Amino acid sequence: MRTMDGMLGVIGGSGFYSFFDTDARTVAVDTPYGAPSAPITLGTVGEREVAFLPRHGAAHEYSAHTVPYRANMWALRSVGVRRILAPCAVGSLTPKWGPGTVVVPDQLVDRTRGRADTYFESGGVHVEFADPYCPTLRSAVTDQDGVVDGATMVVIQGPRFSTRAESRWFADAGFGLINMTGYPEAVLARELEICYAAVALVTDLDAGIEVGSGVRTVDVFAEFAKNIGPLKALVRNALDAVSDERTCTHCLAHDGVELPFELP
């Protein structure tokens, strides 16, 4: 097994509930924020040690607005993860990206509400978040064949899908993707100084883009299931492309800042 700076992590989205074929073990991790969505599975991809966590639970027990995001990110860092790829299902807000397209967003817009989205509940700690994703991890994915580089992903509260008016509003604002789980996951990673990049699989055209049809859960899951094999292969190739040494400084948000607690 290759020596590297911190374990790599993968957070699986809707329909992405397992990652390793054999020789994996599970670890139950407790956190100050409760239990994560599921026990963490530790295994290997090639010669890389990787930790896997299904975002929604092993059997999709958690909807987007009930995912224990703080526990998930804390648990992954606790087992040694310092870099995370986060596959997720998204709707497309532009006809040019149809179902099956893989996009690596470079920006997000938060339209959620009421979600616990910080570890800093006291003191004067403010995290830099102008560019929410790790450029080094993004490059490892966008270098793969057929991947679209760059989009703004708007994250909505869920669990309902958007109205046509909302969908057109988001598209008119210049957003390219719509999702329910990308926030607060990304900012919690930044607060824990974990490199993080979303890997977005388009499962549908959003309601305001294709007149006459709306988004249905059954269709989203069917599209994700159809593409899960290629998506897992893409993630494995991207993990293998990540350097052994963590060279990114972009995601080290607390240089020179005294934190109110020690990072796990």
In the annotated binding site for substrate, the residues are 180, 204-206
3 pLDDT exceeds 70? no
**Cα distance between residue 221 and residue 214, in whole Å:** 14
Residue 130 exposed, middle or buried by CB count within 10 Å (0-12, 13-18, 19+)? exposed
- Bigger pLDDT: 24 vs 108: 108
- At residue 221, the pLDDT reads 76
- Bigger pLDDT: 216 vs 155: 155
Q: Supply the mean pLDDT for the chain.
A: 91
pLDDT 10s digits, 231-244 = 999 999 999 999 98
- The residue from 206, 219, 244, 255 that is catalytic is 206
- At residue 5, the pLDDT reads 61
- Bigger pLDDT: 32 vs 260: 32
Per-position b or e across 157-182, b if 16+ CB within 10 A of its CB: eeeebbeeebbbebbeeebbbbbbbb
What's the pLDDT band for 2 if we cut at 50, 70, 90? Answer: very low
- At residue 136, the pLDDT reads 97
Torsion of CA 147, 152, 199, 11, to 10 degrees: 180
Choice among 27-36, 84-93, 175-184, 251-260 with the minimum mean pLDDT:
251-260
pLDDT 10s digits, 34-71 = 999 999 999 988 888 999 999 999 989 999 999 999 99
248 pLDDT exceeds 90? yes
In the annotated binding site for phosphate, the residues are 14, 55-56, 181
Three-class secondary structure assignment of 59-109: CCCCCHHHCCHHHHHHHHHHCCEEEEEEEEEEEECCCCCCCCCEEECCEEE
In the annotated binding site, the residues are 14, 55-56, 180-181, 204-206
1 pLDDT exceeds 50? no
Q: Which residues pair with residue 258 across a beta bridge?
A: none
180 pLDDT exceeds 50? yes
Nearest to 94 by CA among 150, 14, 18: 150
Class of the domain covering 7-241 = alpha beta
Question: For residues 47 and 2, is the Cβ–Cβ distance under 8 A?
Answer: yes
204 is a catalytic site residue: yes
Residue 214's CB is within 10 A of a number of other CB atoms, namely 15
131 is a catalytic site residue: no
Per-position b or e across 231-255, b if 16+ CB within 10 A of its CB: bbebbbbbbeebeeebebeebebee
- The residue from 5, 21, 204, 219 that is catalytic is 204
